[in-house]
């Protein structure tokens, strides 16, 4: 009698313990009863019928997945190696279990093929300069294809682009040439602006004689403050022209003596 009672107590307890399931807050349980979908269980204490029910736990947390490096030939026939990172999460646990065998593996493979396909349609310069646009395009394509699985792709980021060594050298030479070009253009623009300012100053001084005289006196004051043994006094050009008309040049022939008058 004692054995029968013990067995009668042990069997229900064993069945109860076999059917106990604990779901965390970030988990959902997809319940199957006799092989048919029977609902989605939320977080907390759950009990299923042993040997009749089967529960598959699915995490709702965002998953960060590294996409392995992919060999890609760009539109301008440059062979590069690119890897990326994928951010996604499960929105519908029942679809992630029923519609695909392994949604993690499926999403990873889909990201790899989409990465090769999209980057093969762009040129290398666009890949390096417009990475945000390419990331957005990758996200839209992958998210559209994973939607039937109940998976939402939040973002795709191209993490690293490995270029061939010869391409790196060519780009370095191009960047150096571009910097030299900008330097020469800036220098030429500075020379042009300086010439324009000097021309404006010359026109102002030419039209205002008093300003020219003040500038002349300021130059003398600047020269006087320096420890010079020889001081050069600049003279205005119009004054030099007057002096040239009064003082005879050394190259001019000497003036002839006036004719002497004979005595009568």
CATH 3.30.479.30 is held by the domain 63-163: yes
Token pair for 117: 């396909």
**pLDDT on residue 25:** 92
**pLDDT on residue 51:** 87
**Residue numbers in the chain where pLDDT is lower than 50:** 256, 258, 262-264
**pLDDT on residue 254:** 54
Q: What is the DSSP string of the chain?
A: -HHHHHHHHHHHHHHHHHTEEEE-TTEEEEEEETTEEEEEE-SEEEE--TTTEEEEEEE-S-EEEEEEEEEEE-TTS-EEEEEEEEEEEES-HHHHHHT-S-HHHHHHHHHHHHHHHHHTTS-HHHHHH-HHHHHHHHHHHHHHHHGGGTEEEEEEEEEEEEPPHHHHHHHHHHHHHHHHHHHHHHHHHHHHHHHHHHHHHHHHHHH-HHHHHHHHHHHHHHHHTS--SS------HHHHHHHHHHSPPTTSPPPPPPPPPPP-
**pLDDT on residue 58:** 94
Query: Sign of the C-alpha dihedral, residues 250, 252, 255, 256?
Result: positive
Give this prediction's pTM.
0.62
Residues 6+ apart with CB under 8 A from 86: 63, 64, 65, 66, 67, 107, 108, 111, 142, 153, 155, 156
**pLDDT on residue 114:** 93
CA distance 92 to 192: 67
């Amino acid at each position: 009698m004692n054995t029968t009672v013990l067995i009668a107590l042990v069997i229900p307890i064993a069945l109860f313990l076999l059917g106990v399931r604990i779901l965390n807050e970030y988990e959902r349980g997809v319940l199957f009863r006799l092989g048919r979908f029977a609902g989605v269980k939320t977080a907390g204490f759950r009990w299923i019928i042993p040997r009749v029910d089967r529960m598959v736990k699915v995490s709702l947390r965002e998953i960060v997945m590294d996409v392995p490096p992919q060999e890609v030939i760009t539109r301008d026939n440059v062979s590069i190696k690119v890897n990326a990172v994928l951010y996604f999460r499960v929105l519908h646990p029942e679809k992630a279990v029923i519609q695909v065998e392994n949604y993690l593996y499926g999403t990873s493979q889909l990201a790899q093929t989409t990465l090769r396909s999209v980057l093969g349609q762009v040129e290398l310069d666009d890949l390096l300069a417009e990475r945000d646009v390419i990331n957005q395009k990758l996200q839209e394509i992958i998210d559209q294809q994973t939607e039937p699985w109940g998976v939402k792709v939040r973002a795709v980021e191209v993490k690293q682009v490995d270029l061939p060594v010869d391409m790196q050298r060519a780009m370095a030479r191009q960047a150096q040439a571009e910097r030299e070009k900008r330097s020469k253009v800036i220098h030429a623009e500075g020379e042009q602006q300086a010439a324009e300012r000097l021309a404006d100053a010359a026109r102002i001084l030419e039209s205002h004689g008093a300003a020219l005289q003040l500038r002349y006196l300021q130059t003398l004051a600047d020269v006087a403050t320096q420890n010079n043994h020889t001081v050069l006094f600049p003279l205005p050009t119009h004054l030099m022209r007057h002096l040239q008309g009064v003082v005879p040049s050394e190259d001019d022939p000497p003036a002839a003596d006036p004719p002497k008058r004979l005595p009568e």
